[in-house]
A and B are shown apart, each in its own frame.
Chain A
Amino acid sequence: MEILETLINGLSIGGTYAMIALGYTMVYGIAKMLNFAHGDVIMVGGYTIYVVMAQTGYPLIGLAAAILFCMILGVTVEKLAYKPLRGASPLAVLITAIGVSYLLQSTAQMIFGSSPKMVTLLDLGNVKLGSLKIQWNVIITLIASFVIMLILTLFVKYTRTGRAMVAVSEDKGAAQLMGINSNAIITLTFAIGSALAACAGFFMLMKSPSLSNTMGAMPGIKAFTAAVIGGIGSIPGAMLGGILIGIVEAVSYKITVIAPYTDAIEFLILIIILLVKPSGILGKKRREKV
């Protein structure tokens, strides 16, 4: 029973990571950049929910507002900070993303101060299955992340825009020649990625109602790790990686001796997986044409 409970915990932690990783993976796939500021969009989403909740009191309105605000933020940042650098070295974009990350964090501290805020969203209590007690929000997180992944997969596979996204990620130049507006596609990707981050912020708050300006940093890195483990650029891969990291985290925290080393263990697993499969579990293997 203990094991089952740990696994379910792991799944729910992993669900949140997966949601962030989905955003990472999409932005990476299309814009080919490591968006280090992605984790901080979660934080912005969290604060949006906090502000809206204080005004209205409805969590779902907060979620909607957060999604909207983060999309606008994501698109604005993309337009102002990343778009001028299209065609420049990817390292330059990486550094800008880091700058954006610092900027978001310090702005949040200036506006909201240094003390952590608490937002109680929904108190749904537990569901009992035999002797197993599971919190509702764990279940909801899990379901939501699966649904989001499903929608994204379908979107990419079956809509015109989605296929255009795949085309841009394969070859930006060629896609442009085919009449696809790559810039619009990249902007859209940032919007979707940011919306996912806002959702992740919502679910993180649901599990743990604490808000601070650095709340997104570590989950961001962990989710990035998850995206790489799953094979960066792959949507099911991000999901798989997220869940894997979540379960490892839950199991590791459960064993007292190794609990302090949890982060190290997660990163070690990343290294081992990459050494065995250099492009991640579900990543496409690229053979270099000579």
Chain B
Amino acid sequence: MKKNFKIKHYINYIVVAALGILFTVMALTDSFASPLALIQLEKIVIAVLLAVSLSVVVGFLGELSLGHAGFMCVGAYLGGKVSVLLEPVLGNSFPTLLISMAVGGVVAAAFGVIIGLPALRLRGDYLAIVTLAFGEIVRSIFMNSSRETFGGSLGLATPRFDKKYLFMVGFVMVLICLAVIQNMMKSKHGRAITSIRDSEIAARATGINVTKYKLIVFTVSSFFAGIAGVLYSFSNNNVQSTNFSYNYSIEILVMVVLGGMGSINGSIIAATLITFLDIKLQTILTGNLAVLQDFIYAIVLILIVIYNNAPGLKNFREKYNLQSLINKIAKGMQNPAKRRDDEAKWHRVPTKIEIDEVLSTKIQRDPTTSIKPDKGGND
């Protein structure tokens, strides 16, 4: 496929890898003025993993999941527990991290299969509330665990990985995650997944095994959420179940939605910027100003969503946006008329909710009424 090699297909790998190498060099030469930068990188890498993995479910499969933090929770606790058990043997070392990630990811993926099962029967908002419920159940179970097993209300004390190196592992995981998800999406399996999003009925009639692909998507998505959880447990000294509430799931969803449904690059950018905004607000608004954090975050969120999505602002948006700005800067860049599916603009991609909405209006007339003969035939 050499002749089809186009740099734009690999641009996100290149950018992520370049940044990873740059930051690695900076870390190794101690060019960061403050360890805060390392902490921020860790948080951003974790957020990117979460957002990209959730975007598979929401953007490509078209199902709304509000329980992503639940998978992360499973990964964080299981991976954290493994690291606690391994620490006396292997020390707080790279092998410990690898084994923990493997265990955390696989167990989270197993939970993904479990929560994927209801997804076969439910969709739209019903599935959303079930995933939310799942996340809260997981959290509650870890919260009430005994002190010896998972630390209970005090949380599980886990070894913290050297912050100089942890973000590098994170960058590698992001690259792996990108490779797996993009390769999956750019293959027959990815087409099957997007076909389910666009029309489940037609996908079934075309012989797509909907059950199999829904489970695959939930498994892959929760695997990487689990990995993100393990990284989280290694970036903190303490894993707390309170962190993984539905609010956190929603925060990840916000990243995916703002990044653009079905756009992996968008999810990466949104996750980076939102995490950055969070941290900035937290470090700038201290003391008496702390109360403004949520306030500013909320206002920014509402304004961005309305600006991006309001049908009434369409003209305004087309006139003044980042893209046209970039166009002005980089004149002559042609907009290719061709589009690939996985990059379909998200406001064009109907989600399952929208489909449900359509159904709810059309299907209310149940078959019994639609079968009544024409008046013409009766007379």
Do chains A and B make direct contact within the complex (CB under 8 angstroms)? yes
| Given A95-B253, A102-B297, A289-B367, A270 contacting B347 (CB threshold 8 A) | no
CB distance from A84 to the nearest CB of B (A): 4
Candidates B126, B137, B301, B312; contact of A274 at CB < 8 Å: B126
CA distance A106 to B246 in the complex (A): 18
Q: Does B362 contact A (CB under 8 A)?
A: yes
Do the beta carbons of B140 and A261 come within 8 Å of each other? yes
Q: Which A residues between 60 and 108 are near B, CB-CB below 8 angstroms?
A: 81, 84-92, 94-96, 98-103, 105-107
| Given A96-B306, A267-B136, A286-B359, A106 contacting B292 (CB threshold 8 A) | yes
Q: Does B315 contact A (CB under 8 A)?
A: no
Q: Does B121 contact A (CB under 8 A)?
A: yes
Do the beta carbons of B308 and A267 come within 8 Å of each other? no
Q: Does B37 contact A (CB under 8 A)?
A: no
Pick the interface stretch among B91-99, B127-135, B171-179, B327-335.
Answer: B127-135
Residues of A within 8 A of B362 (CB): 289
Q: Does B278 contact A (CB under 8 A)?
A: no
Residues of A within 8 A of B118 (CB): 271, 274-275
Pick the interface stretch among B161-169, B189-197, B350-358.
Answer: B350-358
Do the beta carbons of A91 and B306 come within 8 Å of each other? no
B364-379 CB mask vs A (1 if < 8 Å, else 0) is 1111001000000000
Q: Does A5 contact B (CB under 8 A)?
A: no
Residues of B within 8 A of A264 (CB): 136-137, 140-141
Do the beta carbons of B370 and A289 come within 8 Å of each other? yes
Residues of B within 8 A of A209 (CB): none
Pick the interface stretch among A7-15, A185-193, A221-229.
Answer: A221-229
Do the beta carbons of B298 and A92 come within 8 Å of each other? no
| Given A99-B298, A228-B126, A267 contacting B291 (CB threshold 8 A) | no
CA distance A222 to B104 in the complex (A): 30
Residues of A within 8 A of B367 (CB): 287, 289
Instruction: From B261, B291, B367, name the one whose CB has the most chain A CB atoms within 10 angstroms.
Output: B291
Work out how many contacts link A and B, with CB atoms closer than 8 A. 170
CA distance A94 to B136 in the complex (A): 19
B312-328 CB mask vs A (1 if < 8 Å, else 0) is 11000000000000000
CA distance A270 to B125 in the complex (A): 13
Do the beta carbons of A110 and B254 come within 8 Å of each other? no
Q: Which B residues between 277 and 323 are near A, CB-CB below 8 angstroms?
A: 291-295, 297-299, 301-302, 305-306, 308-313
| Given A99-B301, A261-B140, A278 contacting B347 (CB threshold 8 A) | no
Residues of B within 8 A of A286 (CB): 359-360, 363-364
> Could you say which interface size class chain B belongs to?
35 or more
Q: Does B257 contact A (CB under 8 A)?
A: yes
Q: Does A183 contact B (CB under 8 A)?
A: no
Do the beta carbons of B136 and A263 come within 8 Å of each other? yes
Residues of A within 8 A of B257 (CB): 91-92, 94-95
Residues of A within 8 A of B128 (CB): 34
Do the beta carbons of A288 and B363 come within 8 Å of each other? yes
User: Which B-chain residue is minimally distant from A105 (CB atoms)?
Assistant: B294
Q: Does B122 contact A (CB under 8 A)?
A: yes
Do the beta carbons of B309 and A85 come within 8 Å of each other? yes
A260-290 CB mask vs B (1 if < 8 Å, else 0) is 1101100110110011001110001011111
- B residues engaging A (CB < 8 A)? 58, 64, 118, 121-122, 125-126, 128-130, 132-134, 136-137, 140-141, 143-144, 201, 246, 250, 253-254, 257-258, 261, 291-295, 297-299, 301-302, 305-306, 308-313, 346-347, 349-351, 353-354, 357, 359-367, 370
- A residues engaging B (CB < 8 A)? 28, 32, 34, 36, 81, 84-92, 94-96, 98-103, 105-107, 109-110, 170-174, 221, 224-225, 228, 232, 260-261, 263-264, 267-268, 270-271, 274-275, 278-280, 284, 286-290
13 pairs, CB–CB < 8 Å, chain A vs chain B: A85-B309, A89-B354, A90-B353, A95-B257, A102-B295, A102-B298, A106-B292, A106-B294, A260-B144, A271-B130, A274-B118, A274-B130, A278-B121
